[in-house]
Structure 1
Amino acid sequence: MSFFKKLKEKISNQTDSVTEKFKDGLSKTRDSFSGKVNDLVYRYRKVDEDFFEELEEILISADVGVTTVMDLIDELKDEVKKRNIQEPRDVQAVISEKLVEIYQGDDRETEGLNIQKNGLTVVLVVGVNGVGKTTSVGKLAHKLKQDGKKVLLAAGDTFRAGAIEQLEVWGERVGVDVIKQSEGSDPAAVMYDALQAAKSRNVDILLCDTAGRLQNKVNLMKELEKVKRVIEREVAGAPHEVLLVLDATTGQNAMSQAKTFTEATDVTGIVLTKLDGTAKGGIVLAIRNELQTPVKFVGLGEQMDDLQEFNAEQFVYGLFSEMIEAENE
């Protein structure tokens, strides 16, 4: 059975609505990336060095990242040689296979949130301003509530004007409470209040919004360290997740932010927003391969339920859906 047929079979066992969200949300990347790959394999009569050079350019233009592209091309060359592949069209399935392998890595257990079986789970959400951090907190709260979890929000961004009110609006929409103080308050004090409230109310998950001020990196990281110390002191083993929110439309700039944050704090996963708004969805692969940090959620639209748990197979299906459907007809 070909890889595309296997992938289609796996996808058919998953929720149709999720498959459609990945398919629709990745339309810009698919039109750009898959369209160019499709054009490439139909123009070439054999798999040669020129073919791989052009494929390399396509991958780099999709923001896969130079280091990752070099690794991927080397692996593709090895597979083509090992399987004695002559037809360029047969390389498409091998590309898909390798993308799934890189996205999944060696640790599939990193997919999804590290939710505690007993007691409170604390999730700290970090990132620069303008990436959709507060919106992601609200959408994540909605998703967790839909999963039957009791959720509480902590308004730890006390610096950005309107941040507390924005989180409160999300709290009302989702139907969860928000623990807050006044604008300009100490974020660590807000977290302390939120932790006490979460424990007294037997909350399952506390989602903590934080201020984004990468341009003032030293102060930001000191503030985060203080917030983390409060969390660690109040709940053993917390924070259980530190999610870094990145804007997919910023491409390699998102990669730069990811490197800075992962060096400064213990980021456990990435939330990649606005993936539906870019043709450069390859940034997911670059983050996974170069930082060894799993992408845990992706934003695939504007609606409340468009923040989806990242799934490598759904992602690759979204990229190559037209080819996969054609092969399975």
Structure 2
Amino acid sequence: MENWNMTADFILLGLFNHTGAHRFLFVLVLIIAFTSLVGNALMLLLILLDPRLHRPMYFLLSQLSLMDLMLISTIVPKMAVDYLTGRKSISSAGCGTQIFLFLTLGGGECFLLAAMAYDRYVAVCHPLRYPILMNQKLCLHMTAGSWLLGGVDGLMQAGATLSFPYCHSREVNHFFCEAPSLVHLACANTVIFEFFMYVCCVLMLLIPLSLILASYSLILAAVLNMQSTAARKKAFATCSSHLAVVGLFYGTIMFIYMRPKSYRSGANDKVVSAFYTIFTPVLNPLIYSVRNKDVKGALRKWLRKRKGMRKFLKRL
């Protein structure tokens, strides 16, 4: 049974069927995923090329774009191939890779958003000491810590999930391999692991969320004490985009992982998972670019250079 467990494939039931309405939704998802890829790749390019964006805030934003880019690449291509070819199987190794990457990127983004909240706290509450408190070394340490903590969580949960025997149905009611969906199929006692997985999710979500709430509580207190109306507006504009990203990301993640087991539904979980794995990544670059003058200025500068380069090539 153990040999069969390691060699047999899982079957991903997917998000869509082949009705007309679902074909339309599938095309819509592909368009959104492509837009997300382009938007996050463009954000990375602008931050890399424009010297004005070589600051801690934008370095952290570049890591957020990289995580979103990798998350889309981990989930959507396999989902699209399965839908178009009708071949929905995935190997145990492929399933483990998806679980590891998904949890690494999701967990890393939790801590990265906390680091971005601290950056905004320093920028608003201690603007004169910002270059000292948010130096390059600290920024690199916070980024590396986010990747490391996410990677450790992903490695533990992927290894533990695939260690269970799967001797009955191997049909996963999802469009990608997610640990809770697989654990339900195991023909072994998984109570201890499910409790461990729940504790890990609570820690990975609530610790960063507590840091975010603490940072923004201090920011709010500082903003309310400001005498200048213009300074208040600038502070609110600086933080509102980050709060929007935090609300979207944490709201959907907590809905999936922190609900009681009795309230879970496979169909609802798939829809919510699609929201934070496909739709949320496309909103991040839009939120930060629309509300940020530096990013819009870098985009205009890059477009002018591209236009000038095309004119020069035509003359040649």
TM-score range, shorter chain: under 0.3
Give the TM-score, by structure 2 length: 0.27
Between Structure 1 and Structure 2, the one with more helix by share is: 2
Give the TM-score, by structure 1 length: 0.26
Between Structure 1 and Structure 2, the one with more strand by share is: 1
